[in-house]
């Protein structure tokens, strides 16, 4: 391993420190291909009065560095005390990196304080012929605004990741994606987009895109558009014919996604939908435990709303018909509970699906939805269920009728259930799976708490279609 290769793993402060080890290493740091500015450097400038010193340090790194190329630039800024000064420095660094044919940029800023990234002042970044990865992450509650140049051309960009930004206009966002002809990975997380025209649509058109991750995108009315009565609950239009992985987290109350192209190449899809606009997935409480969305809200939905949400979900699921691995959140299942007629009329099957992972609230209605999905997945091999506690009423429970229907699961080999509690609904579901799983080889249950073995005995005594099933039951260790 060459010296430059070793130095590429170190923080820039450590790299510069090697210049004092040996005379022949004195200027080696100037040509290192990867610039990492992490906590080893920034921790020395934590205080507000020292923050300009951090910016000056990075400025001097570029000033005294030679003119060789930079493969990767990574900087994590823990604080932002002087927003204007910091923005000026960041734009200067971007200019310097563009001149050195940078290939990858990772910028993370905490405590953003309403930063404004005006990239028309650093348009070189969006005309780079060398850049192939751009990741910009704001980690504070306040989103930073970003303005793109009118003209952009990023012929080599393959990965674009934006977290917690307000985009100045929908047209500029559309132009950005259109300017990346070889883009393969796109991540948009917590993004607000201003709309200035009621007829504008958010369009992601990327012919080479393979990985798309969208989490919480909001449309905002610009000042001159705020008096309009036109709704801004618009779907995201997606023209991504080569997509293989799709991850989305969104809210049920608005239209979600309209796929322009067929997703015949799709392999993995992870769909999480929430009713509570303030809910953030993977939110934890003060003890570090994950907090689930309040399921009680779903019982308050009107029939009209539930039907509307169900139709949207079925439309979205229909677009994902070619998927091989599918994961759905409790909210997706719950809105389908009250629309069995729509489910029965679902025309498209998941003929390619081999793996299905569901998080569900433990109601008979949700268990019924699972049977619908199984009927639409004739080649399913693995089923993984996470059973969430809820206070929902089984207003739509037709489980007796659903579980009595014949549904031959010809290829299902493995069923795994986590957070099991020994409820009757679980037993009904297991009876259905064992009765129809002619190829079932393994059944695994993970219980939430210690309990007597009566439930386990009941499961083992259920009739089964498969002659050889390995049943495994896991209980938490006693304190």
The pLDDT, as a whole number, for residue 231 is 40
Is there a contact between 238 and 257 (Cβ–Cβ < 8 Å)?
Answer: yes
Q: Which residues, including other chains, have CB under 8 Å from residue 419's CB and lie 6 or more apart?
A: 386, 387, 388, 389, 446, 448
CB-based contact 137:111 (threshold 8 Å)? no
User: pLDDT (tens digit, 9 = 90+) per residue, 155-171?
Assistant: 999 999 999 998 988 88
Distance CA 140, CA 153 (A): 30
Measured CA to CA, the distance from residue 211 to residue 133 in angstroms comes to 14
Q: What is the per-residue pLDDT across 264-276, written as a single tens digit (0 to 9) for each?
A: 999 999 999 888 6
Query: Is the pLDDT reported for residue 225 higher than 60?
Result: no
Main-chain phi, psi angles of 258, to 5 degrees: -125, 110
pLDDT in tens, 352-379: 999 999 998 877 677 778 888 898 899 9
**Residue 297 has what DSSP assignment?**
G
pLDDT for residue 181 is more than 70? yes
pTM of the model: 0.89
Decide if 349 contacts 377 (C-beta within 8 A): yes
Distance CA 258, CA 255 (A): 9
Ordered by start, the domain boundaries in the chain are 244-406, 408-478
Rounded to the nearest 5°, which phi and psi values hold at 228? -75, 150
Beta-bridge partners for 188: 162, 214
Q: For Cα atoms 166, 181, 130, give the angle at the middle one, nearest 5 degrees.
A: 85
Which two structure tokens, joined as six digits, stand for 23?
């005379």
Write out the two tokens for 439. Answer: 């190829």
Q: Is the pLDDT of residue 450 over 80?
A: yes
Q: Which residue has the higher pLDDT, 195 or 410?
A: 410
User: Which pLDDT does position 282 carry in this prediction?
Assistant: 52
How far is the CA of 456 from the CAs of 233, 302, 312, 383, 422, in angstroms?
48, 39, 39, 19, 9
pLDDT band, residue 230 (cuts 50/70/90): very low
Write the CB contacts of 115 (distance below 8 Å, at least 6 apart in sequence). Answer: 80, 83, 86, 87, 109, 138, 144, 145
pLDDT digits (tens, 9 = 90+) for 327-337: 999 889 888 87
* Greatest CA separation for the chain: 82
User: pLDDT band for position 228 (50/70/90)?
Assistant: very low
Instruction: Report the residue count for the chain.
Output: 479
């Amino acid at each position: 391993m060459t010296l430059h290769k070793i130095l590429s793993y170190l923080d820039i402060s450590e790299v510069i420190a090697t210049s004092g080890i040996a005379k022949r290493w004195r200027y080696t740091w100037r040509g290192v291909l990867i610039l990492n500015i992490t906590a080893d450097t920034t921790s020395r400038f934590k205080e507000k009065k020292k923050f300009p010193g951090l910016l000056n340090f990075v400025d001097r790194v570029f000033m005294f560095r030679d003119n060789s190329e930079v493969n990767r630039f990574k900087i994590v800024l823990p604080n932002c005390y002087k927003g204007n000064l910091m923005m000026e420095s960041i734009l200067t660094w971007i200019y310097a990196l563009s001149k050195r044919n940078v290939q990858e940029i990772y910028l993370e800023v905490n405590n953003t304080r309403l930063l404004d990234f005006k990239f028309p002042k650093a348009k070189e970044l969006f005309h780079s012929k060398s850049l192939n990865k751009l990741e910009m992450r704001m980690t504070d509650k306040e989103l930073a605004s970003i303005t793109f140049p009118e003209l952009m051309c990023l012929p080599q960009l393959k990965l674009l990741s934006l977290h917690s930004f307000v985009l100045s206009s929908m047209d500029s966002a559309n132009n950005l994606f259109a300017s990346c002809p070889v883009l393969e990975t796109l991540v948009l997380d917590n993004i607000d987009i201003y709309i200035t025209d009621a007829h504008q649509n958010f369009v992601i058109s990327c012919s080479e895109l393979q990985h798309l991750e969208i989490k919480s995108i909001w449309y905002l009315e610009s000042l001159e558009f705020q008096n309009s009565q036109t709704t801004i609950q618009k779907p995201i239009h997606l023209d991504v014919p080569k997509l293989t992985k799709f991850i989305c987290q969104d809210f049920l109350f608005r239209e979600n996604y309209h796929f322009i192209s067929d997703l015949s190449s799709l392999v993995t899809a992870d769909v999480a939908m929430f009713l509570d606009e303030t809910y953030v997935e993977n939110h934890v409480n003060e003890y570090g435990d994950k907090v689930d969305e309040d399921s009680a809200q779903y019982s308050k939905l009107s029939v009209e709303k539930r039907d509307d949400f169900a139709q949207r979900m079925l439309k979205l699921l229909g677009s994902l018909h070619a998927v091989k691995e599918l994961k759905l959140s409790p909210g997706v299942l719950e809105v389908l509970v009250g629309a069995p007629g729509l489910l029965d009329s679902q025309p498209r099957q998941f003929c390619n699906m081999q793996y299905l992972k569901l998080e569900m609230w433990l109601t008979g209605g949700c268990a019924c939805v699972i049977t619908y999905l199984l009927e639409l997945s004739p080649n399913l091999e693995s089923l993984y269920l996470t059973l969430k506690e809820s206070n929902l009423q089984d207003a739509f429970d037709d489980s007796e009728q659903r579980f009595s229907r014949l549904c031959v699961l010809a290829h299902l080999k493995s069923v795994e259930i986590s957070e099991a509690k020994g409820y009757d609904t679980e037993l009904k579901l297991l009876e259905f799976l064992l009765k129809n799983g002619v190829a079932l080889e393994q059944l695994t249950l993970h219980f939430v708490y210690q309990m007597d073995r009566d439930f386990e005995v009941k499961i083992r005594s259920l009739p089964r279609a498969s002659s050889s099933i390995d049943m495994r039951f896991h209980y938490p260790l006693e304190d």
